[in-house]
Structure formats: structure tokens, C-alpha cells
Chains A and B, each alone.
Chain A
Amino acid sequence: DTEVTQTPKHLVMGMTNKKSLKCEQHMGHRAMYWYKQKAKKPPELMFVYSYEKLSINESVPSRFSPECPNSSLLNLHLHALQPEDSALYLCASSQLSGVLTFYEQYFGPGTRLTVT
């Protein structure tokens, strides 16, 4: 299995709702990522997990809460979002990079989130 899967494909939520985005990979990758992509813009890194531990948080608001329950799963918990948080949320995974190497990131298809 060489794919990153994401569920759901589409999500509409109100500003008071709590929802979660899920990401799964079975390639044995130990680094996993969340990106946010607005329309016609490049992906923006939100979080990086290495060996199931949060290694990078790009100053993301606390209404976004990541979780990595095991090496194959990555969740993004959403609470009290704003309409401007509407975007495509991408998950990616890769082998862990080292000082001399950088491994390709494999991207999922994304979850299209609309906050009403």
C-alpha cells in the first residue's frame, strides 16, 4: 500500500461544532504532516510528527489539535473554528529525513472543510 488516505473527503461544520479529520498510511513512514491549502495557494505546513511525537507546530491556533495515536494514524481535531479556516487540509507522510538526506513526502487527497 503506497497511498495516504484521508477521511472524510468533505466536511461542513458550524463554528460551535467539534469534528476530527483522519489520515492513515501503511508505508512504514515515521514522519507525518498536516498542511492547510487555501484556493489557488500553495500548501502551508501546520504540524509535523516524528516517531509519533509533535516536532513542529507552525504557530497554529489552539482550535486545531493534532494527535498521532500510532505510527500509521494522524488525526486533526477541530473545535470552535472560524469561517476563514475553510480550506483543503492535506495530510502527508515520509521516511524520516537526516542531515544529508530528505525523503519524498507522499500526500493524501485532502479533506475539503467548510466552516459555516
Chain B
Amino acid sequence: AQRVTQPEKLLSVFKGAPVELKCNYSYSGSPELFWYVQYSRQRLQLLLRHISRESIKGFTADLNKGETSFHLKKPFAQEEDSAMYYCALSGRGATNKLIFGTGTLLAVQP
């Protein structure tokens, strides 16, 4: 079964501290993995995807197929990073179906 697991509902860190938001997935084939972010009172938007291997707003995520993980990392958290973060998965093909994890609320304290 396709599933995305984010074990932490809330992650609270101080400004300048490193951040790691965990994401594990279950998928029988070769999935595409994404991180979406939802800032307060703003729409859901794509933060990054594994296939592009970009660093957006200082965040990176590496796909580890052995551990079926796609953790989101940032070396130094900023207050403006406070938001809800969703890890999401899509199988390859034309179904256009995106499956979201339960989300982690990141709170960066001053």
C-alpha cells in the first residue's frame, strides 16, 4: 500500500538551530517524493522535490531508497520557516495522484 508517514506532529526549535523533519514512505515501485509547505493564511505550495535535487530557502532533502526516507533538513532555522510541512508521494504514471503525510508543524522560537 502507498503510505507516507511523518512521525512528528510538532517540532519546536530555536532560531539558528538545525532542523530535520522526518518522512518515511511505503511504495512498491519507484515513487516521486515532494515536500509541500503551508504558511499561516497562505496556500499550500511546493517546497522541493527529490528529482530536482535543489535547495530551496536553505532546505534540502535526500531520497534514501534503502531506508525509504525523504527527510527535510535545514542547518539554521529562521523564524519565517514556521509553517506546516507535508511530505507527499506520487507513483510514476499518468494517474496524477498525490498522497500526503499527516504533516509536521514546525515552530521556530526566537
Residue A73 interfacial (CB < 8 Å): no
Interface size on A, residues (CB 8 A): 27
Most buried by B among A97, A99, A100: A97
Interface size on B, residues (CB 8 A): 22
Q: How many angstroms between the C-alpha atoms of A73 and B97 in the bound complex?
A: 19
Which residue in B42, B46, B93, B98 is a CB contact (below 8 Å) of A45?
B98
Q: How many angstroms between the C-alpha atoms of A107 and B46 in the bound complex?
A: 9
Q: What is the CB-to-nearest-CB distance from A29 to chain B, in angstroms, rounded to a whole number?
A: 10
Chain B residues proximal to chain A, CB less than 8 Å: 32, 34, 42-46, 49, 86, 90, 92-103
Residue A110 interfacial (CB < 8 Å): yes
A104 touches B92 (CB 8 A): no
Set of chain A residues within 8 Å of B45, measured between Cβ atoms: 107
